[in-house]
Structure 1
Amino acid sequence: MSKDVSKKILDATLEVIAKEKISGTRMHLIAKEAAMTQSNLHYYFPTKNDLLIALLADIQEWFSKNRQQVVDLDRQTFRENLHAFFAEKKDVILNHKKLDYVQFDYWVQGTVDPQVRESFRQTFDIWRKDISAVFERGGYSEERIKMIPFLMVSLMMGASMQYLIDEGQFDLDQYFDAAEKIIVNLIDGSK
């Protein structure tokens, strides 16, 4: 499959899901958004589920590449890298809202579709492993910090959920400063 065609289809799928949610997404809507025939779309992605799994992989690739730009285990300190996770999530909330909206929709779809659930679960595994790597590089033992990645993901996704439903309710800078302090206070003395 041509990377250009695939990207065009995946971008169209993201747009449609952001507008219609997964439950309202239809192949003909994606084909229209991608400016192609539905039969051509089915040639590349025979089913909606194939397309959903491919989009989730594409979104994960975006997150991984983005994270590599802000987290640098070799050049940044532990605290700089810890801060980078929260800064990255704040950037997504403010500048890439569609990704968060679609991510929440994947969570819902994962409650009824085992294949989507497994693919979505793997995206969270990657996120938590990236967080764990920062802590391990910072000298924290895996046993001592095993729940920290789960807590950090919950704090970050909680920010998305609350902020995106009511953007004026709280200040993201204050929220993420508090979240970072919670994590730092939790790990103090755990080396």
Structure 2
Amino acid sequence: MPTPTSTPTPAPQAPREIHTLADKLLEVHDWLRDQLVQLRAEAAAHFAERAAHQGPGRPPAPGIGLQIRQRCLEFCDALTFHHTSEDDHVLPGVAAHHPQLRPALDRLGEEHRAIARLKENLVGLLADLAAAEPARFLAEFDRLAADLTEHLDYEETWLVPVLAEVPFPPVAPAPEEGQQ
């Protein structure tokens, strides 16, 4: 499985037109993938800069580590929100209308929990990014990125076809005649 270090930077894309819940899911997944590439590059650059400034009289550039830490934490929060929303709303709705997808939906839920554990490991390393060992941090990041990318691909295989039937934003049902 390729890691973000071997993945080329994605070409800028035109904004995706959103007509269905599948379109919205793909928009979020595109953003997550793009953030993985950007964050990996920023973290690698930070550690390279830090290594270049180690030694007597050579302090690292102030604030860069804090910026990367903040961006990584924001990404982790967005990922948590995305997976929690899927677990609480999307997957139960799909299961109710497509019970034949239960094995795939169960796997998606398990993957959400596994990715959450990897994310928490990364958050732990972010607590003291200034002291983080670069190889360990980047290895943890790469593991999260690889597992998340594989998960997004699998999720799209199963969810995009059924979510393409659901308009976005949701349309409230029209009141029946005589009701208000």
Q: TM-score, normalising length from structure 2?
A: 0.32
Higher helix share: 1
Max Rg structure? 2
Q: TM-score, normalising length from structure 1?
A: 0.30
